[in-house]
Structure 1
Amino acid sequence: NAPNCAPARACLLSGQYGPRHGVYTVDSSSRGQSKRRKLIPIENTKVLDPKIVTIAEAIKSAGYISASIGKWHLGAGPQTGPAGQGFDVNVAGYGAGHPQKGYFAPYGNPELPDGPPGEYLSDRLTDEALKFIEAHKDRPFFLYLPHYAVHTPLQAKKDLIEKYKKKPGSNGQDNPTYAAMIESTDQGVGRIMAKLDELDLAENTVVFFFSDNGGVRTITSNEPLRGGKGMLYEGGIREPMCVRWPGVVKPGTRCDTPIIGIDFYPTLLDIAGLSKPQGKLLDGVNIVSLLKGGNSLSREAIFWHFPAYLEGKAEGARDSYFRTRPCAAMRAGDWKLIEYFEDGALELYNLEEDLSERKDLAKAMPEKTRELHKLMLAWRKTVNAPVPTELNPDYSP
């Protein structure tokens, strides 16, 4: 997925790479001190264009009712909020990317009536999801449940915090509040699974569980992955996914073939028995073959494009001022290439042998570097990806 939240969601819902919809980052693409930015970055689009046919709109033709319950972060109101992008039900989704008044009611969320004082947001969103499932158990439904957790502010239920305070940390995972937030989310997933079983819907329901981006490096550890949220190193873009699809996905199996957020759109179309909407351009590929036990997909590489600045010093970053400077990345098999637009620097990694991205092979393997860069340039041309080249007059190295 993308290295931070809004672009990951835009790609998921549109089935398109970032350059097609222009959502590259969160808020401004000029984050951080101007004097430290060498280039004028590409302007970021902060909402998903309502002209884009989302997956929620596409599956309506098969009789699906859809709900977005939780974080939206791609606009607000009748055009760019969930209701304007094909969702029949919207609970708690608007322009904000985190709970404005925290995780305990009252929430201050215009799309979520306050529950009783002290109600926990993750529990409430799960309750709303269960209501939706119960109400529409007799017809096809699409539930999009993007929890606000574990975004800041870090807040959790006291009993769970105390539980994790008593447990020793390991591999950098030593934040009891963060762990407690994850457990509340996990409990919610379990309740949804139980509801599907209770209503005899499990055999005919596919459940995908995944994250938009990696963990914030100053809060948690993504070891052995390098970096975290906001970076194109693996700690920012590599997340696990779990799938339950009875009769199709064999429990306990593992697939190591990488997929990316744009793949969900064509996959869900296939599962729903639908063809691509007329005139709709999709960059993703259908992963049903992987879910059925296959181990490869018919594409050469996957790509990331981040022509923006994202401030913040964090372990694993390339410098002390930015988590990410304008750059792009691609993965082809076990090979990964990163290009930095300020100086044209290229980094090459073999993820099979160096998952932590510590050994840059670009100079040692110039032919492989050129081969992958050629693929990246061709992809950039295909999707019309803009690259910042204008110098920043405020730059003072």
Structure 2
Amino acid sequence: MTLPINKTLCTTLVCIYALHSCKPAKIDITEHKKPNIVLINIDDLGYKDVGFMGSEYYETPNLDALAEEGMVFYNAYAGAANCAPSRACLISGLNTPRHGVYTVSPSDRGNTKTRKLIPIKNTDHLNDSIFTLPQMLKSAGYVTGSFGKWHVGNDPSTQGIDVNIGGSAKGNPGKGGYFSPYKIDNITNGENGEYLTDRLTNEAISYIEKNKDTTFFLYMPYYTVHTPIMGKEELVAKFEAKSGQNGQNRPDYAAMVYAMDQNVGKLLHALKQNNLEENTVVIFTSDNGGIRAISEQSPLRAGKGSYYEGGIRVPLIIKWPGKIKPKSTSTVAVSNLDFYPTLQNIVKPQRRAKLLDGVNLEPILYGGELAERNLYFHFPIYLQKYDQLKDQGRDPLFRTRPGSVIISGEWKLHEYFEDGELELYNLKTDIGEKNNLTKQNPAKTKQLYEELNIWRTQTKAPVPTIANKLYDPTHLKEQ
């Protein structure tokens, strides 16, 4: 039997249902928009070239204040020991065997007669097929800007950068290039004598002000403190009146460090002025270790271009108000390869990188722990000396000969491809890498050597094996 329909009741029920279904979802009042990201990458700044890492000669009050506001990492590493591969690692999130950028070309540095092997051919820039960090951030809705040294391609706009000032394939500002008129690309000259570090900061501040109502990524890869060493006259005079110590005593270099710190301070102040500080992640680091002939990093051994600690350890601060506890520190080994996966997890883009070699650092940033993992470095080429008396390299002719490195906890193993030699160091007791423990600890040597080989197989890391017919062992004795 069909029951009669009460049209009024039916209409009322439909309306009630419609109103109920249209009610807005409960809003999480703790949810904020994605954070702005400021990534400051200084060129050739050594591990101890800043006050918060222990320098008593260089003055970095703004960075010291930033260190108080965020987390300082005492075991932070660059992805490689010199600028091109390190920056390629940071921008791609991939270790050197995956992108093939091992140095600033060519790979056969030094005298031909002193090289036993034909080195692996170097790749100059990241391949356009690589999904870069800026491209990932654009997928998450970010405006992207780079102000300074790009160096991983000819044109930053093809690799995810919307606004580019001063960036191209060039890796340094050129002879005399820290004062206008400039010798880099994609920048107009300022008044004669304008300082490049100041100019790049002013351009970045304009970018912040223009995009303060959007969500932005600001990459700040200053050319400073890369050679040529050029400081402002008044700042050089300031440090000429100050006594240096522990191999840190060059007034012109100290002037560059001080100017860099002043400009970082201006940049951070601009975030505060525009009410952006609370929702901005700030990362401060260096692309590799400092040049030891210019500034020593004692007790670390060697410097830029070497895979001893002085070449790959770098200063690192990460600040995010409300997320990262002020005055916090970490001794966990981290790498600039970790920036990409960390930021990707924070911003949750529409398109994610299919493969990344770093790890998400959020557990550490928020006061938790990170699962143990190894760090790997691969450098199948040659890099000639800077100063054989100061470099502290394995030999006086090269900062690095072809080899690989693994860091596992407190242990570090170097392997050299020319002669198969291994060096094992305990970084906890011997951070200066003075005592080779391969004979005293053959079990640990074997374990790390096997893990290093497994990693090379997994990443298809090329190892040079072809003998150099022009090698002349007697030539070594003549040097």
The aligned residue for residue 155 of structure 1 is: 230
Structure 1 segment 228-267 matched on structure 2, within 5 A: 228-267=303-342
The aligned residue for residue 201 of structure 2 is: 126
1:169 to partner: Cα distance = 0.3
Corresponding residue to 1:28 among 82, 101, 106: 106
The aligned residue for residue 83 of structure 1 is: 157
The amino acid across from 2:101 in the alignment is V
Corresponding residue to 1:284 among 333, 344, 358: 358
**Contact 2:201–2:267 (Cα < 8 Å) also in 1:** yes
The aligned residue for residue 73 of structure 1 is: 151
Corresponding residue SS for 1:210: strand
**Contact 1:67–1:89 (Cα < 8 Å) also in 2:** yes
Runs of 5+ unmatched residues, structure 2: 1-77, 474-479
Q: Per-residue displacement from partner, 1:292-311 (whole Å, max 9, x unpaired)? A: 122x4234201000000000
- State how far apart, in whole Å, the 2-side matches of 1:263 and 1:230 are: 21
Please say if 1:18 is aligned against 2:96: yes
Identity %: 51
1:61 to partner: Cα distance = 2.0
Please say if 1:352 is aligned against 2:428: yes
- State how far apart, in whole Å, the 2-side matches of 1:19 and 1:369 are: 23
| Greater CA drift, 285-294 or 31-40 | 285-294
Taking CA–CA contacts closer than 8 Å with sequence separation of 6 or more, which of the two structures ends up with the larger relative contact order?
2
1:315 to partner: Cα distance = 2.7
The aligned residue for residue 446 of structure 2 is: 370
The aligned residue for residue 300 of structure 1 is: 373
Q: Per-residue displacement from partner, 1:236-288 (whole Å, max 9, x unpaired)? A: 0001201111011111111010111111111111221337626x211110001
Please say if 1:394 is aligned against 2:470: yes
**Contact 1:4–1:213 (Cα < 8 Å) also in 2:** yes
- State how far apart, in whole Å, the 1-side matches of 2:126 and 2:199 are: 26
The amino acid across from 2:225 in the alignment is V
Structure 1 segment 164-179 matched on structure 2, within 5 A: 164-179=239-254
The amino acid across from 1:60 in the alignment is K
1:27 to partner: Cα distance = 1.2
- State how far apart, in whole Å, the 1-side matches of 2:86 and 2:333 are: 16
The amino acid across from 1:190 in the alignment is G
The aligned residue for residue 34 of structure 2 is: none
The amino acid across from 1:34 in the alignment is T
The amino acid across from 1:213 in the alignment is N
The amino acid across from 1:277 in the alignment is R
Corresponding residue SS for 1:66: strand
The aligned residue for residue 58 of structure 1 is: 136
- State how far apart, in whole Å, the 1-side matches of 2:255 and 2:105 are: 29
- State how far apart, in whole Å, the 2-side matches of 1:273 and 1:23 are: 28
- Which portions of structure 1, spanning 4 or more consecutive aligned residues, are displaced by more than 3 angstroms? none
**Contact 2:413–2:445 (Cα < 8 Å) also in 1:** yes
- State how far apart, in whole Å, the 1-side matches of 2:206 and 2:293 are: 36
- State how far apart, in whole Å, the 2-side matches of 1:293 and 1:226 are: 31
Structure 1 segment 80-229 matched on structure 2, within 5 A: 81-101=155-175, 102-229=177-304
| TM-score normalised by length of structure 1 | 0.97
Q: Per-residue displacement from partner, 1:16-54 (whole Å, max 9, x unpaired)? A: 000000001111110000000000000000111111000
Q: Per-residue displacement from partner, 1:41-74 (whole Å, max 9, x unpaired)? A: 0000011111100011011122100011100112
Aligned length: 391
Please say if 1:309 is aligned against 2:385: no
- State how far apart, in whole Å, the 2-side matches of 1:49 and 1:103 are: 30
- State how far apart, in whole Å, the 2-side matches of 1:300 and 1:206 are: 25
**Contact 1:307–1:388 (Cα < 8 Å) also in 2:** yes
Q: Per-residue displacement from partner, 1:65-98 (whole Å, max 9, x unpaired)? A: 001110011221xxxx211101001110011111
Corresponding residue SS for 1:320: coil
- State how far apart, in whole Å, the 2-side matches of 1:54 and 1:113 are: 27
Runs of 5+ unmatched residues, structure 1: none
- State how far apart, in whole Å, the 2-side matches of 1:299 and 1:283 are: 14
- State how far apart, in whole Å, the 1-side matches of 2:444 and 2:463 are: 23
The aligned residue for residue 123 of structure 2 is: 45
**Contact 1:269–1:275 (Cα < 8 Å) also in 2:** no
Let me know the Cα RMSD of the aligned residues.
Answer: 1.1
- State how far apart, in whole Å, the 1-side matches of 2:331 and 2:372 are: 15
Larger Rg computed on CA atoms = 2
The aligned residue for residue 3 of structure 2 is: none
- State how far apart, in whole Å, the 2-side matches of 1:224 and 1:10 are: 28
**Contact 2:140–2:350 (Cα < 8 Å) also in 1:** no
Corresponding residue to 1:328 among 404, 413, 416: 404
- State how far apart, in whole Å, the 2-side matches of 1:222 and 1:276 are: 40
Corresponding residue to 1:383 among 442, 459, 472: 459
- State how far apart, in whole Å, the 2-side matches of 1:340 and 1:35 are: 18
